[in-house]
Each structure stands twice: as C-alpha cells, then as structure tokens.
A and B are shown apart, each in its own frame.
Chain A
Amino acid sequence: MNSLSVVVIDPAHGGADPGARGSAGIVESEVVLNFARFLRIALEGQGLRVVLTREDNENPSFDDRSAIANGQHGAIFITLHVSSTGPAGTVRVYSEPAPTPPPPAAGVTPQTGAANPSRSSQSVQMPAPAFSIGAPAAHPGMVNWDHAQDSYLDRSREFAALLQAQMSQRFRGSPPTPLLAAVRQLRTVAAPAIAIEVSSVSIPDRALLDQMASVLADGVARAVADFKPIYEAGAK
C-alpha cells in the first residue's frame, strides 16, 4: 500500500519571471515563496515530508518542477499563485479539466504554415504511479509526460474539493467549489495536483497577503489530512 507521505509545494515563477506584479510593487513570485514556507511548517507538523520546487528566487521550468514531483512516491502536488485580478482576499482552487478529445484529422495546420499546433508527445520512464486511475498508459510503467496528469484527474478533483471547502470557510467571498482550468504546470504532474490562486497583487498593501499566509497554511494542512485516507484507499 502506498501512503501519502510527501507534499510537493511549487511556489510559481521566480528568477527572471516575477509573475503578476501590482502597481504597489507586490510581486507574485515573492508572495508565493512566503506562502510556501508557511505551508511547509504546517505540513511538516503533520509528519509529512515537504519538498519545495524552489527555495529561493530561481525559476525552474515547468518540466523541472514536474520532474521533482514525478520523482517522488506517495506524493501530492500544490502549485501556489497570486492573481492580478479578482476580489481581494479570496482564494480559488483549480484542477485540470478532462482532455479535449482529438479531432478526427490528426493535428491542425494553418494555411500560413507558420506553426503546427500538434505537438510530439514524449514518453519517458518514470516511477510507477502510486495507483492507476482513468485511462491506462499505452505501455505498462510508461507515462506520457506531456499528459501525465490525465491519470490523476479524479483524485485531483477530490483533493481540490476538500481544499476549496477549507478556503471558503476561511476566506470570505471565495467560491464554495473548486474550478477547472488548464493550468500549464498541472498537465505534466503524475500525482494528484491542484493550483491555489490568491487575489491579488493589485491590493495597495502586501501586509494583507502576508496575513493570509498562516490561515492559508492551516486550511491546506487540514485538507491534506482529510485527503490522506482517500488517497490511501485509492492506492490499495
């Protein structure tokens, strides 16, 4: 049986990519790194191992961040964001939607010839998934890197629902249910994965966001504790 033992926390952006920036100088990459540190303390307090995809002001690629998560056994993945817009002090939780069925003809090629929107998919050897949900991989033990999340959509949605419920209790105005969005970072993660986005960098004072950090961390820790038995039941 695989138990949930690792939480990979991804403070988005960093380095040359500051992410969203507010007129008062609030920078997304800095705020999410602060959130990540609070989350680490709260989750380690529950006996979980926490891995951050970046510890400082650096900017690993989407795939580098996914590789950190995909190299873990018994892991879940949380990417942290602060938006440019939205009602101040609210929190939204996102998981990946089901993939769009491919059109009958393979790929699409515009008449300009400037681009070919169909992408070659890379298959890479990765640790065997903790459990199998959804469509099986084409070859046993192989996961399509570009769509690694496809096998975890249901579990990600369950985790997102638990997390959004915690957020709506703690942050007034937050939606009661999670949302679906094609967040690029989630697509290549072979584990239950969600995105948290806090509003916003457009507020006049960063102190409001910093005050949210401990409450946010408490809500995430509670949701992870609620999700642990669901994860482990699925892994049996």
Chain B
Amino acid sequence: MSRRLKYTLGVLLVLVAVGAIMLPSLRRSVQDLSKNVRSEEQARREVMQPQISTPTDTKVKAQMFWLSDTSSADLAPVTIELTLSADPVLRSKQILNALIDDAPAPERRTLPADTTLLAFYLQPDGTAIADFSDAISTQTPAGILSEQLAVDSILRTLAANVSGISQLKILIHGQDTDTLAGHLDLEMPFPLPTTALQAAPGAQPASQPQPQPPAKQPH
C-alpha cells in the first residue's frame, strides 16, 4: 500500500469518526428546527390574537362546548373559569378564542388549533359576523358531521355565554365562502340555539350598548 493511499484512508477514517460524533447533535438540530417552525406559528397567532382585556372584565364560569369524551359524534358542555368583558363583542371574541385554545384535550377540539378569529362584529338586529382565518376551512376534517360539530360548538358556546346574538354569519378570511370544508353551507347565517340562550352575567344586548367606564390611563 502506497503512502499516499494510507494517507487518504487515514483522512477518510477521521472524517467518518467526526461524522459519527456529529450525527446525534445534527439530528437534534433538525428536530429543534422543526420545533421552531411550530413556535413561529404560535408566535404569529399570539401577535394576531393579542390578549383581549377591558376594564369591565370579570371572572365568570363559562360554559364551553367541545367534543364529548365518550362520543366523537356529540358535543358536551364543559365549565371553565374565564375572565370576560361585559361588552358583547369583546366577550364573544374572548369566548371564541378560548374555544379555539383551551380545549381540555386535543382530541376534543372542534376547531383547528391554528384557527385565528380575525374579526367579530355585532349588528343592532342581533346578527353577529365572525371572520376566521383560512385554517378553519383547510384544517377542519372534511365531512358533514365534523363540520356541523365545529359550527354547533361555536353557536352553542356563544349562546351560553353572550346575550343579544340571534344569528351568526361565518366568513373565512373576510370572504363569503360556499362551504366550511366542502360540505356545510355557509351562505346563510346560522340561528343561535334559543334553548341554550341564557342571560350571561354582565353581558348586554347588542341593541343596548353598556356605557363603558373611561379606560385606565397608562402610567
């Protein structure tokens, strides 16, 4: 074996040894990188959905509707403690953000985790308009059942916690959309279930806005 060949083999062996040593840390770096992508998604959502708080916020027991833990075809009420505004629009935003973020378990979600509530409006006639990001359409499992459960969870949760809303129109990214995810018709507003409608403590009907106390001055 020539000296040159020995030298080349030696260099190759050193490179293989260095590669073997570096491989685990390289794998960890790739994994960290994929985790960072998720973190960026979360950060973006946090920027899009700043914490909503108002001077009228009070802690209340809110009734939320997520998937039942015994049947994937049904919703079940879950009572959680939330800090909610008396203003019906802000209260609705807080409630819907909690519906997206605070499911007791991932398998009980009705709305995709990446969904963002972009805007919420309430007309004097009681018609509410909720504008969601594309994720509600692209990531909700396709099907009549799953799409209806998603919409029902929104309607029943709003009905249980906000008064003054009679029907809800759903927009996706500001647009009127044919279906939620290929099945459920979004053309018309959905009536809120009247049986679940209850006077939410501190909430006011849309037609009678509550005078707001002056906002706290920043120090």
Which residues from chain A sit less than 8 Å from chain B, CB to CB?
Answer: 13, 17, 19-21, 28, 62, 81-87, 90, 92, 94, 99-100, 103-105, 108, 110-112, 114-117, 119, 146, 179, 181-185, 187, 195, 197, 199-200
Contact = CB atoms under 8 A, between A and B. Distances in A.
B148 A115 contact: no
Contacts of A85: 72-73, 141, 143, 145-146, 149
Nearest to B143: A83
A81 B121 CA distance: 34
B169 A19 contact: no
Question: Which of the four size classes fits the interface of chain B?
Answer: 35 or more
Contact of B72 (A62, A86, A181): A86
A87 B74 CA distance: 11
Contact of A112 (B167, B174, B188): B174
Interface string B172-192: 001110110011110111110
Given A100-B191, A184-B185, A110 B144 contact: no
A146 B144 CA distance: 20
Contacts, number: 120
Given A20-B141, A28-B142, A87 B71 contact: yes
A116 B71 CA distance: 37
Interface of B: 71-73, 119, 121, 123-127, 129, 131, 141-146, 148-149, 166-167, 169, 171, 174-176, 178-179, 182-185, 187-191
B143 A184 contact: no
Contacts of B188: 99-100, 182
A110 B121 contact: yes
Contacts of B72: 85-87
A83 B167 CA distance: 27
A187 B188 CA distance: 11
A119 B131 contact: no
Contact of B144 (A94, A104, A108, A187): A94
Contact of A117 (B119, B129, B142, B144): B129
Given A17-B182, A103-B127, A115 B175 contact: yes
B190 to A, nearest CB: 7
Nearest to B188: A100
Nearest to A105: B125
Given A62-B178, A87-B72, A112-B131, A183 B144 contact: yes
Contacts of A105: 123-125
Q: 10 tightest CB-CB pairs across the interface, nearest first?
A: A114-B174, A83-B143, A84-B141, A182-B185, A184-B185, A20-B142, A103-B125, A84-B143, A85-B146, A83-B145
A181 B184 contact: yes
B174 A115 contact: yes
Contacts of B148: 179, 181
Contacts of B127: 103, 108
Contacts of A179: 148
